[in-house]
Amino acid sequence: MSAGDDDAPPVAGPLREPEPTRRRTPAEEARTLVAAGSLGSLSTLTAEGAPWGSLVAYGQLGDGSPVLLVSTLAEHGRNLRRDGRASLLVAESVQAGDPLDAGRVTLAGRAERPAGAAEQAARAAFLSAVETARDYVGFGDFALYVLRVDRVRWVGGYGRMDSPAAVDYRAAAPDPVAAVAPSAVRHLNADHGDALLAMAREPAGFTDAIAARCRGADRYGLDLWVTTPRGSGPARVGFAEPVREAGGLRAATVALARRARAEAE
């Protein structure tokens, strides 16, 4: 939707320069999305070198490298033993809306059998993600693999995409507030419309805002949708410091609301 659409309401921008804000980097987006899931589509190579897709569960090491536990009897297990080149596609789970507008990440590289301490770490990482695997992780026909990622492709939805360097992917931290963000957003919209309105007016610069809804929360701030007499539009407000753990989102949001109200006085 753009301001030029015939039947769309006008899109309004801020009346005053908003305070600068940060967003998650593409590497952080990719790490966050992979950290949120435990199920992906694995692409491997058949004996003829043709691509083969299969559904797999995955865990992950501290640097975001996926850990797989594959049956050597399964096609993808035989494929990996012959040629470790593989890619893992992880898609955001979507309840409603256009699924092609949802996030997904492709991690490509080489799957390797870990040994010694690395195998213990990989096993622990897999079991932490897939608890039911405890029943079969020790079976002789199952093999642990770590996908050594050398390419990352992140798609956040229509028009939001990037290819962060693998080294940046490994160094980035998943967003600690991702899991609690949806319930925080619901709570803000249900009970704190006044605080959101104050944020829209002050740090976000929509000085004539008459209403504001929260559309997303992450470690760096909130995404708002602001209504004004001129139309409505998106706004971004930032926390003073990035939130470092899930439990910190509430305090950061309260502090942001307090600052917004203070600026308004």
Amino acid making up residue 128: S
* Contacts for 252 with CB less than 8 Å, ≥ 6 apart: 239, 240, 241, 243
If binding is defined by CB under 8 A, does position 112 make contact with a second copy?
no
If binding is defined by CB under 8 A, does position 73 make contact with a second copy?
no
Q: Least distance from C-beta 40 to a second copy, angstroms?
A: 8
Pairing mode, strands 39-45 and 51-60? antiparallel
If binding is defined by CB under 8 A, does position 36 make contact with a second copy?
no
User: Which residues face 42 on adjacent strands?
Assistant: 54, 88
**200, exposed or middle or buried, with CB in 10 Å at 0-12, 13-18, 19+?**
buried
Write out the binding residues for a second copy, residues 92-111 only, by CB under 8 A: 98-100, 104, 106, 108
The number of C-alpha atoms within 13 Å of 105 and in the hemisphere containing its C-beta is 28
Q: Least distance from C-beta 49 to a second copy, angstroms?
A: 6
Structure tokens that stand for 172 in this block: 């980035």
Contact map string, positions 117 to 146, toward a second copy, x by CB under 8 A? ---------------x--------------
If binding is defined by CB under 8 A, does position 153 make contact with a second copy?
yes
Q: Least distance from C-beta 42 to a second copy, angstroms?
A: 7
Pick the stretch among 26-34, 60-68, 85-93, 255-263 that binds a second copy (CB under 8 A).
Answer: 85-93
